[in-house]
Amino acid sequence: MANTSWLIVMLLSITCRESMHCNGFTVDPPVDVVISDVGQLGRLQISWSPPASQVNVTECSQLYQLEYFDTYIDSWSAIRTAKMNYTAQFDLMKDVRVRVYTLLRGPCTNGILIKSSSYTELVQNPPSTGVGTPVQDFVCVYHNMKYVECNWGRSPKLSANSQQHLYFWHRELDQTEECPKYLKASGTRFGCNFTENSLPEFTDINFCVNGSSPEGPLKPAFISLQIQNQVKPGTTEKLHLRKVPEAQLELRWDNPAGKVPAHCLEWEVEHNQEGPDGKIALQQILTDQKSLTLPSIHDTQINCFRVRSKLSKYCANKGFWSGWSPATCQPEKREKAPKPEQSRDIVHVYVFIAFAIIAILVLSLCVGAVLKMRSLRDVKKPDALLANVFARNSVLTVMDA
């Protein structure tokens, strides 16, 4: 019981420290909250002014607590600052919601931190202008950390004469820039190639896909991402597979060429085992090593391997799998030597075509011969018919008589 009341007293005193009713001193929330868009495609500046009642309080230091709804993580974020402005990243396709409190501490409050009981809130709705729906499926891929390519899905309802634009901004740019090299299919833009070294890592890159159409401006889409989370490593070119003593198979491979840090890669090895009865067993192995040893390999089995890589979670929040390497088998499969096989195939095709031509010739000769025989018979037939008719007539005549 004593323990419980002690706890309540403690909780009350903690609450007191953060509120304003304890020593009768109150503080008002800030005024004139303004959200300004300086054209950085999602970075907004929030500014405010101190409450009128606090303008002359000099013996206390004034702080502000800004809370804003972060739509990227679907929760409120809070910061405390002595300044009267703050810049944060927002998704301009969603509501922008901010709340500001005043905090006071110093001799005027007996040294305890006092927070205004209420906040000043500002909610800004996304602009509802524009026709159609914003582009969907916007994906950026940082190919082997060499160049960035972004693609978007074209809205099926988009009219043929509309033109889409991609703009981007990051903190090294004074103002937005347009895509340096659009990717197009039959005249329609569907993506952008930023070519080499054009986007910085570890900073938000804000994109906007907007456009114009005969019906008016298209509804813009806003996307924000960091390119080190979009890496797709290069494809591993070659696997080294060899038999080692004690019936083991050893598989080794190298990092893809490029600037992806070697320690960042994790690998998926696909092991395809074909038994003498033709049964295939498929196995996927995840590893952070660049080699693999497999025990007890039977001579009657065919073992094939291929690998692909991805940035591990220690290096990036997410990423894309690389393409699969070519497969390597033990014992080597016939597909391993594609060139002779291919030329042999071509010889087969030629032989087949020659046979086909001869067959067609022979067939047409036969058909010709048959037709000729028929026509010869047809010439004879009228006589036979006539003979029949005469025969029948004569029969009839006989009957009449």
* Site residues for ligand NAG per CB under 6 A: 47, 52, 55-56, 83-85, 147, 149, 165, 167, 176, 183, 193, 195-196, 208, 210-212, 217
Nearer to ligand NAG, 92 or 307 (CB): 92
Which residue, chain included where needed, has tokens 């998926």? 268
Nearer to ligand NAG, 63 or 302 (CB): 63
Per-residue tokens: 165: 């634009």
Shortest spacing between CB 143 and ligand NAG, in angstroms: 7
Per-residue tokens: 12: 């009350």
> Which one, of 107, 24, 15, lies nearest residue 61 by Cα?
107
Nearer to ligand NAG, 235 or 272 (CB): 235
Shortest spacing between CB 209 and ligand NAG, in angstroms: 9
Q: Which residues contact 114 (CB under 8 A, 6 or more apart)?
A: 19, 20, 25, 26, 27, 103, 104, 105
Cα 238 to chain centroid distance, Å, stands at 27
**Beta strands at 231-232 and 136-143: parallel, antiparallel or unpaired:** parallel
- Taking a C-beta distance cutoff of 8 angstroms, is the pair 300, 273 a contact? no
Residue type at position 342? Q
Q: Return the DSSP state at 336.
A: G
Shortest spacing between CB 165 and ligand NAG, in angstroms: 6
Nearer to ligand NAG, 47 or 301 (CB): 47
Per-residue tokens: 181: 């090299």
Shortest spacing between CB 79 and ligand NAG, in angstroms: 14
Nearer to ligand NAG, 61 or 193 (CB): 193
Backbone angles phi, psi at 172, to 5 degrees: -85, -5
Shortest spacing between CB 186 and ligand NAG, in angstroms: 15
Shortest spacing between CB 280 and ligand NAG, in angstroms: 36
Cα 342 to chain centroid distance, Å, stands at 36
Q: How far is 292 from 277, CA to CA, in rounded Å? A: 26
Nearer to ligand NAG, 40 or 328 (CB): 40
Which run of H or E residues covers position 358? helix 338-400
Shortest spacing between CB 302 and ligand NAG, in angstroms: 36
Per-residue tokens: 343: 């030329």
Q: How many residues does the chain have?
A: 401
Nearer to ligand NAG, 69 or 147 (CB): 147
